[in-house]
Every structure is written in structure tokens, then in C-alpha cells.
Amino acid sequence: MGAIAGIMEAQYNILRKKGHAPSEAFNETDYREKLGEELKTMRESEMWKAGAKGKRT
């Protein structure tokens, strides 16, 4: 099992133990929206841009 699969399974198991339904444990829409926002923030940060420039040269 890969690292990401293991993390997803652990998250699922914890949420199920707390009484969440399987559909609530992985609400893909909310997860993808939040992830997209976080990645956009990172991509637009000065540190990220500086690192990207350094890799190109």
C-alpha cells in the first residue's frame, strides 16, 4: 500500500469511528476545493516563485 493510500485509509477509519457515514468520510468535492485553494496559495507565494525560478536556471 502506498503512503497516500495508507493516509486515506487511516483518515477514513478515524472518521468512521467518530460516527461519520462513509459518504461523509470522503466528501471529494469539499476536499478538492480546499486542496485547490491551498495549492493556489502556495503557488502564488513569494517563496514558491523564488524556488521555481532557481530550478529553471
Based on the structure, what is the number of domains in the chain?
1
Whether residue 14 is contained in a domain is answered as no
Residue 18 has pLDDT above 70, yes or no: yes
Statement: the pTM of the whole predicted model exceeds 0.75: no
Side-chain-facing half-sphere of 29: CA atoms under 13 Å:
2
Report which listed range, 1-5, 11-15, 22-26, is most confident.
11-15
Whether residue 43 is contained in a domain is answered as yes
Residue 40 has pLDDT above 80, yes or no: yes
Give residue 34's domain range.
27-56
* Mean pLDDT, range 5-25, rounded to an integer: 81
Whether residue 35 is contained in a domain is answered as yes
Whether residue 39 is contained in a domain is answered as yes
Residue 56 has pLDDT above 70, yes or no: no
| 57 confidence band (pLDDT: 50, 70, 90) | low
Phi-psi region of 41 (alpha: psi -120 to 50; beta: other; left: phi over 0): alpha
